[in-house]
Structures are given as C-alpha cells and as structure tokens.
Amino acid sequence: MLNWREADFTSYTSTVALSAEEEEQRQKEAMQTARKLVAELGGQLGHTPTCCVVTFGCQMNARDSEKILGILMDAGYQESDSEEADFVIYNTCTVRDNANQRVYGRLGHLNSMKKKNPQKRIALCGCMIQEPDVIEKIRTSYRFVDLLFGTHNLYKFPELLCTMLQNDRMVIDVWKATDAIVEDLPVVRKYPFKSGVNIMFGCDNYCTYCIVPYVRGRERSRSSKEILQEVERLAKDGVVEVMLLGQNVNSYGNGIEGEISFPELLKEVEQVEGIRRIRFMTSHPKDLSDELIAVMRDSEKICRHLHLPVQSGSSEVLRKMNRRYTREQYLELVAKLRREIPDLSITTDIIVGFPGETKEDLEQTITLVKEVGYDNAFTFIYSPRTGTPAASYEKTMSDDEISQGFERLLTVVQDKARESVSRLYGRVEEALVEEVNSHDAALVTGRLSNNVLVHFPGDASMIGKFYPVKLTENRGFYYIGEMV
C-alpha cells in the first residue's frame, strides 16, 4: 500500500485493513498516547507546545486543515498563527506548479528556524505529497522535514503524530489509493457559524490537464446518513451555513446501490433545523441535471450562487481537455439556469494557454465570457503537471501571446463582473456577517446569498448573524451598505 520504504526514514502504516469503526477506535487510542507525548514535550520545552497549520489550495484542503488542527489541539498543542511555532504543518496543493514552488521556498525559511530550534517539527501533507517525484526531492534536498503523509490517510494523523514524536528520522506514510472514509475526528472550525462538509472524495473525470484524480484518487462518496448526522451536529453547535464539498458534487452517490442522488441529498440537508444557507462546490457542467436546477430553483436555503467551471470557450480545446461538453452545450446550460433561476450568480474557472490553443480559440473564450456575464472568474495560465496527458502536448501560442491574451481576458472578466454586480444597487439583501472589516473597525463584512461581499456599520457582536442590508454604494466587486 505504501509507495516508499527506505533505510534512511521510517515508513509506517497498519498492516491489516480495518473497518471504519475499528480504524476510528485505533486512532482514538493513538490520541491517548499523543497526549502523553505532547505533555512530555511541553515539560522539555518549558511551555505548552505550539502548532501552526498553513493551508494551500481549495476548500477541501481548508476543511482537512480544520481536522489537522483539531487533532493537534486535542493532543495538547496550542494554536499559533506564526511559523515560529514548535510544530508547523503545510497542507499542500499541487494543481499548479507555482503552488509547489511556494512550498519549497517556504521550507527553506523553516530550515533556518529549525537550526536555531532543533526540537522544532515540520510536516507536509496534502495533494503535493501524493507525487513520487516530490517525495524524492524532499528526501534528498529537505531532509530536515519530519513527517510526510498524503491525501488518503489523513484520518491516521493521530497515529503518525505519535510515530513522529517518538522518532528522529523522517516519517513517510503515503498511500497510492484507499477506499476508507473515516470522518469522526476532532475538528477546530475557522468559523463557528459556518462549516464545510465533505460529501465525497476523489475524481473520475480525468481532464487531461488535471492532476487531482492522481493525487486525490477515484471518486468515493460518504453515506448520506453520515453526512446528515454531521450536518445535524453542526446545526446544534450553532452552524447556520454549510458548504457541501467534493471534486464533482454532481456525481455524488454514483455506483452506490441504494444511495440517494446529489439533488436528493440537498433536499435532505434543507430539512435540517437551524441550517439557513446551503452552498456546494464544485459542479461539473456535464453532470448538472435538470433535477438539480429544479431543486435549486425551489429551495429557500440553497444559495443563489453556482461555481460552474468552463475552462475554455472553444469546443476544440474542450475536446483536448476531455471536458466532455461543447461550447454550445455549456451556453445552453447557462441559458437554462438563467431562465429557471434569474437571480443566480455564476462564477467560473478559465485556463489560458492550454497546449494547442490558438489565438482564435482564446477569442472564443473571451466572447463566451461576454455572453455569459460571470459574476467572477478565476483565470489561470496553463501550468503543465507531470503525469497528466496534456504535459506532453505541444504549445501553439508563444509565451508573449499567452500573456497578452490572459490580460485581455482578465480585463473582460473584470468589466463583466462589475456590470453583473451593479445590478444589485439599491436593493435590500440578507447578509451573514463573517468578520469585523480588516480595514475599518467601524464596519463589519457580510456575505450575500449570491456570494457578493458588503461592508456596513457594525461590531463584533454581529458576527455569525443575519441582517437586512441596503446596498448603497457599488465599489465594483463589493458593496458599501446600511442596515434597514
């Protein structure tokens, strides 16, 4: 099951496949040992050991980091915002190469800290660690790292923590794949009033540019019963907004006999008392059904925001990407969404410079953005990922042409987003207050159902509560407002 087994580090895993219940019990026992080890460490340090969890990447990584922090605090660590902490964990992303380079750059800084504090511990986890060449590079060039584990065995972190604290060598535990899902672990939520909920893991789509299926594995859905129990627990704990998370939530439940579909799951979550808002991410256009559109249209809790990645406006580029829809099919889907849910905010992802993309293909993307009128778009220049089919494709445009095209696209995206957000001017909308404004302490920052931010007078006592706000001043991508 492990990728690695060498003499200069410790590879560690259980040798027997356990049920979810047995694995949960095993990790609870490991937590007891971890508490003793952390207490002993505190005695040696002369203070409560501190930990810092740094998250790179998507909402699923953010949710994983909450679990990591929950385990660490349950073990006796004290949370710190500083990488000067006694234990630093980087929860990594590998969707683009620059994410990897950022981690390598910051590791060098941690090494200088560790030379001054030899008892400092450093761990790497997440998607980047599922790449064999990354592990080899860390083993040879970053030997001061203490622990490496991947995306499939996060639930084993209590056990791995014990091994790291009892070992002077690098501990590596990276699995190629797993069917196991163990979610009942300690969690420290970033926000007490909202939370992500994992409903599935992995991806079966294999877009030619994307490394996610290789580092997150094949699709695995949690049981709807477990998901609903988690949502009910969150509601009882004061959570009013949940975000259902998966690489492609539209395919939730596929291949599981007797399991409900994603639209049916949404309807069940809507029945949970105390939950006032439901979000989800991410939807693949090829799987977005009429049933899901109808459920969104008729719901009073599902937010009026849909993230619908298009990636390109060219059917030929989409074919090379293995997206399994055409430009025309995507536009038909958007038209249906606009028709059924007129107040829906649509955001997207777009890649520029995909191998084989021409200036004419890019022009088709720009015209699609104009036609759809996205509320926002996350635009990226293509980054080849080793191990994906597209990494071997040949580029058509030069780097200068790609850069110029990217800037043109970005300008159109921003112009259309401002135009789209301006339609809200003067309206009264319900805002969930998330924080005191970071630039003006006399203001709070709230989020509307359609994901637009509004800043209005208030204080910290309002955080986690809903308020009707009149949108009085359009600042392009956000609003200034006043309570009514």
Rounded mean pLDDT of the chain? 91
Question: How confident is residue 183, by pLDDT bands cut at 50, 70 and 90?
Answer: low
| Residue 71 scores a pLDDT above 60 | yes
pLDDT at 466: 98
Q: What is the pTM of this model?
A: 0.83
pLDDT at 98: 79
In terms of pLDDT, which residue wins out, 4 or 361?
361
403-461 pLDDT, tens digit per residue, is 999 999 999 999 999 999 999 999 999 999 999 999 999 999 999 999 999 999 999 99
In terms of pLDDT, which residue wins out, 58 or 45?
45
pLDDT at 10: 47
- Segment 83-102 shows an average pLDDT of 89
pLDDT at 32: 94
pLDDT at 484: 95
| Residue 15 scores a pLDDT above 60 | no
| Residue 315 scores a pLDDT above 70 | yes
| Residue 118 scores a pLDDT above 80 | yes
φ/ψ (deg, to 5) at 285: -55, -35
The whole-angstrom distance between residue 146's C-alpha and the CA centroid of its chain comes to 25
| Residue 4 scores a pLDDT above 50 | no
Q: At what angle do helices 327-340 and 359-372 cross, to 10 degrees?
A: 10
Domains along the chain with CATH numbers: 9-173 (3.40.50.280), 304-423 (3.30.750.200), 428-483 (2.40.50.140)
- Segment 347-355 shows an average pLDDT of 97
Residue 163: C-alpha distances to residues 18, 31, 134, 166 (Å): 19, 12, 22, 5
- Count of C-beta atoms within a 10 Å radius of residue 240: 18
Q: Using an 8 Å Cβ cutoff, are 173 and 153 in contact?
A: yes
Question: How confident is residue 9, by pLDDT bands cut at 50, 70 and 90?
Answer: very low
Q: Using an 8 Å Cβ cutoff, are 148 and 129 in contact?
A: yes
pLDDT at 20: 67
| Residue carrying the six token digits 């505190």 | 42
pLDDT at 5: 39
pLDDT at 264: 97
Q: Using an 8 Å Cβ cutoff, are 330 and 437 in contact?
A: no
Among residues 304, 349, 294, the alpha carbon closest in space to that of 323 is found at 349
